[in-house]
Amino acid sequence: AHEFGHVLGLQHTTAAKALMSAFYTFRYPLSLSPDDRRGIQHLYGQPWPTVTSRTPALGPQAGIDTNEIAPLEPDAPPDACEASFDAVSTIRGELFFFKAGFVWRLRGGQLQPGYPALASRHWQGLPSPVDAAFEDAQGHIWFFQELGFPPSTGRDESLEHCRCQGLHK
């Protein structure tokens, strides 16, 4: 978690129990200190307010035109034989290939029925393209785009070296 703080652009702090303390000790359950929250909000802004109540929406009435738009059919998935994939990852013991908002799912070397499918079928709101994905030891799935660093942190020379060597997209 401490290293993810660095990836998000946070620096070390002198606050003793902060996640970003130079001498951070992992504690479970993980919690952010007020200092960590202030640092993130300084970089990315205050959280958006949560909607606590919602007025029920009125449905269309007979004889009244509406501006409803029919959902679009998704584009056809790319041809797996002609595609270079955006990312490939093993998630919960299965192999997932990501390309242009679609995912291929292989179990035991076999493409599963119903695939390729929209990645949003599994992960709602997943942006495209996915440049990297992994499952951590706790079973959380992480997705990355580009270098994963906010613009304020600049570029890391080691990552630039990897890009030049063809090791990173």
Query: What is the set of active-site residues?
Result: 3
Torsion of CA 152, 29, 48, 147, to 10 degrees: 30
Q: 135-138: long-range contacts (C-beta < 8 A, 24 or more apart)?
A: 135/89, 135/90, 135/91, 135/92
The residue type found at 4 is: F
Point out which residues pair with 104 in neighbouring strands.
Answer: 97
By residue count, the chain amounts to: 169
| Separation CA 130–CA 64 (nearest Å) | 42
Extract the tokens encoding 126: 């997943």
